[in-house]
């Protein structure tokens, strides 16, 4: 796939430079808009408008939508007003709204000037909704039917209106703009008789979202109910737009990326890795690194407080990294499991009792198995193989007891913090590995030194 694309790309660019435009156009016509858009990413600025002008109107708009904002901006700046109008007219309203959001102010002004008044008002409507809400990702182009239409009339209406709609497969039945049902094209085509009334075949147990529903909840409903489209209603149950499955897929991908970034102590950004500059990466990575580094002051203070114990039993120091890493890993296992379960709605806040009980027993099993293997390993490798005389059975016991307690604390902290975040209406993903490691580090060191003091008398 990828290699094939590279070959096609260099062939196409060769043809472009030789000005064999007719042949090039033939090739572009059989390509997919996404692939043509990818091609644009690799063009230098002067060649972009050249290639773009070869595309027929509809394909041009479809390709334009798939391009990255910076390529779009280069193109728009090269467009004449009438060229810009042609592209904008072909865009679906939600894509046009996305474009307006991404472009700098002077480009936005030109776009809105070229859009027809209806499109302009729809764009403005979508832009008024909060970021990441259903309203901000919906499109206002959908097919509405009336309950008293016949199936035949409905099909006729779709044939007349459908060309400008993002999807025609789900049609919404309204009465005085209130959403009262839905009918799919499948229902219409498979209806036994063209004279059946829409109200007799429409589905009335509707699932809808409001304009302010979080886009993550919208995406979850798509994956739960397998919808092609989901209606967006206002406070009075009047339909104002629809979200289509492809936008829901984009949201799912975005939200999964965001969760993974939070889990690994990165401030989420919407830029892809390739588009991010070094400064972008720095800005998204330094805040958590700085915070976590400064909060490690506590672990340092704990070690300083027990300096005498360490001086008396230098062997103890060697096990600090192992204890900290195992605690950190145990905690991040629990936290990520819970973060994902909360985000997929598998676990709810009311399940907290079950969760604690399950994690506690898992922690006990893990802790005891780890401690048993660790005890043997320390004795066999560190004492017998490496001949480290300062490791007594008691030192070994202190390490392994600490291990059990650390794993239990880590798993409890790991499951409780994401649930606490959820209860506080924060994103549970913030309470992931790095944050939990810092807490568990401190706990495990205190436990370690307390065991050392009481069992080794240091």
Q: Which of 441, 448, 451, 452 binds a second copy (CB under 8 A)?
A: 441
Site string for a second copy, 308-327 (x = CB under 8 A): --xx--xx-xxxxxx-xxx-
189 is a site residue for a second copy (CB under 8 A): yes
Q: Which of residues 245-274 bind a second copy (CB under 8 A)?
A: 245-246, 248-250, 252-253, 256-257, 259-261, 263-266, 272-274
CB-based contacts of 372, cutoff 8 Å, min separation 6: 400
Cα separation of 379 and 128, whole Å?
A: 67
CB-based contacts of 152, cutoff 8 Å, min separation 6: 194, 195
Q: Which of 292, 352, 450, 456 binds a second copy (CB under 8 A)?
A: 292
Q: Which of 21, 288, 375, 379 binds a second copy (CB under 8 A)?
A: 288
Q: Which of 44, 193, 307, 389 binds a second copy (CB under 8 A)?
A: 307
Cα separation of 238 and 296, whole Å?
A: 53
300 is a site residue for a second copy (CB under 8 A): yes
Question: Residue 156 is encoded by which pair of tokens?
Answer: 């006729």
Block residue for tokens 């075949």: 201
Instruction: Tell me the residue length of the chain.
Output: 458
**3-state secondary structure (DSSP) of residue 233:** strand
402 is a site residue for a second copy (CB under 8 A): no
Q: Of 84 and 371, which CB lies nearer to a second copy in the complex structure?
A: 371
Q: Taking the CA atoms of the chain, what radius of gyration do you get in angstroms? A: 30
296 is a site residue for a second copy (CB under 8 A): yes
Q: Which of 94, 95, 98, 382 binds a second copy (CB under 8 A)?
A: 382
356 by Cβ neighbours in 10 Å (0-12 / 13-18 / 19+) ranks as middle
205 is a site residue for a second copy (CB under 8 A): yes
User: What is the DSSP-derived secondary structure letter of residue 296?
Assistant: T
Q: Which of 63, 122, 139, 335 binds a second copy (CB under 8 A)?
A: 335
For 397-426, the DSSP string reads HHHHHHHHHHHHHHHHHHHHHHHHHHHTTS
Q: Which of residues 22-81 bind a second copy (CB under 8 A)?
A: 30-32, 34
Q: Of 16 and 168, which CB lies nearer to a second copy in the complex structure?
A: 168
- Binding residue count for a second copy, defined by CB under 8 A: 116
Q: Which of 437, 443, 447, 452 binds a second copy (CB under 8 A)?
A: 437
Q: Which of residues 126-185 bind a second copy (CB under 8 A)?
A: 155, 158-159, 162-163, 168-169, 185
438 is a site residue for a second copy (CB under 8 A): yes
Q: Which of 341, 394, 420, 456 binds a second copy (CB under 8 A)?
A: 341
CB-based contacts of 68, cutoff 8 Å, min separation 6: 37, 41, 275
186 is a site residue for a second copy (CB under 8 A): yes
CA nearest neighbour of 362 among 407, 413, 295, 421: 407
Q: Which strands sit side by side in the sheet containing 144-145, from one edge to the other?
A: 144-145, 170-175, 178-184
Least separation in angstroms between residue 248's CB and a second copy is 8
């Amino acid at each position: 796939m990828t290699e094939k694309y590279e070959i096609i790309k260099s062939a196409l660019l060769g043809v472009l430079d030789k000005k064999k435009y007719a042949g090039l156009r033939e090739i572009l016509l059989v390509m997919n808009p996404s692939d043509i858009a990818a091609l644009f990413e690799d063009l230098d600025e002067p060649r972009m408008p050249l290639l773009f002008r070869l595309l027929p109107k509809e394909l041009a708009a479809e390709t334009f939508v798939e391009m990255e904002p910076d390529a779009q901006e280069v193109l728009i700046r090269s467009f004449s007003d009438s060229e810009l109008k042609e592209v904008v007219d072909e865009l679906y309203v939600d894509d046009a709204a996305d474009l307006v959001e991404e472009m700098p102010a002077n480009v936005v002004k030109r776009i809105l000037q070229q859009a027809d008044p209806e499109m302009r008002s729809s764009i403005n409507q979508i832009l008024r909704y909060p970021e990441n809400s259903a309203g901000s990702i919906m499109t206002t182009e959908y097919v509405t039917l009336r309950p008293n239409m016949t199936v035949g009339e409905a099909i006729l209406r779709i044939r007349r209106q459908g060309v400008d709609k993002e999807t025609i497969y789900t049609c919404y039945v309204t009465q005085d703009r209130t959403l009262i049902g839905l009918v799919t094209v499948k229902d219409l085509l498979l209806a036994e008789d063209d004279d059946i009334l829409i109200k007799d075949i429409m589905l009335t147990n509707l699932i809808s979202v409001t304009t302010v529903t979080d886009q993550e909840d919208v995406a979850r409903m798509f994956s739960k109910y397998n919808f092609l489209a989901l209606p967006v209603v206002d406070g009075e149950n009047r339909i104002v737009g629809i979200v289509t499955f492809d936008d829901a897929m984009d949201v799912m991908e975005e939200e999964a990326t965001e969760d993974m970034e939070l889990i690994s102590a990165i401030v989420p950004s919407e830029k892809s890795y390739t588009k991010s500059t070094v400064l972008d990466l720095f800005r998204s990575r330094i805040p958590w690194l700085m915070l976590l580094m400064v909060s490690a002051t506590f672990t340092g203070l704990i070690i300083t407080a027990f300096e005498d114990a360490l001086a008396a039993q230098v062997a103890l120091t060697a096990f600090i990294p192992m204890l900290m890493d195992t605690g950190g890993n145990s905690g991040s296992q629990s936290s990520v499991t819970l973060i994902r379960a909360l985000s997929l709605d598998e676990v709810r806040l009311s399940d907290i009792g079950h969760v604690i009980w399950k994690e506690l027993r898992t922690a006990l099993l893990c802790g005891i198995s780890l401690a048993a293997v660790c005890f043997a390993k320390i004795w066999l490798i560190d004492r017998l193989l490496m001949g480290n005389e300062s490791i007594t059975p008691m030192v070994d016991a202190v390490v392994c007891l600490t291990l059990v307690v650390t794993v239990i604390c880590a798993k409890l902290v790991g499951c409780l913090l994401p649930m606490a975040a959820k209860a506080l209406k924060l994103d549970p993903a913030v309470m992931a590995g790095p944050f939990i490691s810092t807490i568990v580090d401190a706990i495990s060191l205190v436990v370690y030194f307390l065991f050392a003091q009481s069992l080794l008398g240091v």
